[in-house]
Amino acid sequence: MTVGARKVKRSALIEAMEEDFKERLPGYHKSRREGLTTLAGVMLEARSANLMELAAALPREIG
C-alpha cells in the first residue's frame, strides 16, 4: 500500500484478510475493502477496541 510517496508496511494478517475478502466479495469497492480489513486486522493485533490504541497501531498515516 502506498500513502503519498511512501510505502506503508501492512501485516501478513491484514494482507490475508484482504485476499479472503476479495475472493468472497470480488465486486466490493476497493477502498472500503482495504479500510474494513485494516480496521479488523488492527483490532485483532491490538486486542482492543480503544480508539486511541487502534489509531496508534494503524499501518498508515491519518489525515
Bridge partners (DSSP) listed for residue 47 = none
25 has a pLDDT exceeding 90: yes
Q: Backbone dihedral region of 6: left (phi > 0), alpha (psi from -120 to 50 degrees) or beta?
A: beta
Q: What is the mean pLDDT of residues 20-46?
A: 92
Q: Is the pTM above the cut of 0.85?
A: no
Q: What is the mean pLDDT of residues 7-30?
A: 88
Percent of the chain past pLDDT 70, that is, above it, reads 81
- Cα–Cα distance for residue pair 12/41, rounded to 1 Å: 9
Residues 28 and 18: beta-carbon distance below 8 Å: no
- Cα–Cα distance for residue pair 26/10, rounded to 1 Å: 21
9 has a pLDDT exceeding 90: no
- Cell (9 digits) for 53: 490504541
Q: What is the mean pLDDT of residues 19-33?
A: 94
Q: What is the mean pLDDT of residues 24-37?
A: 93
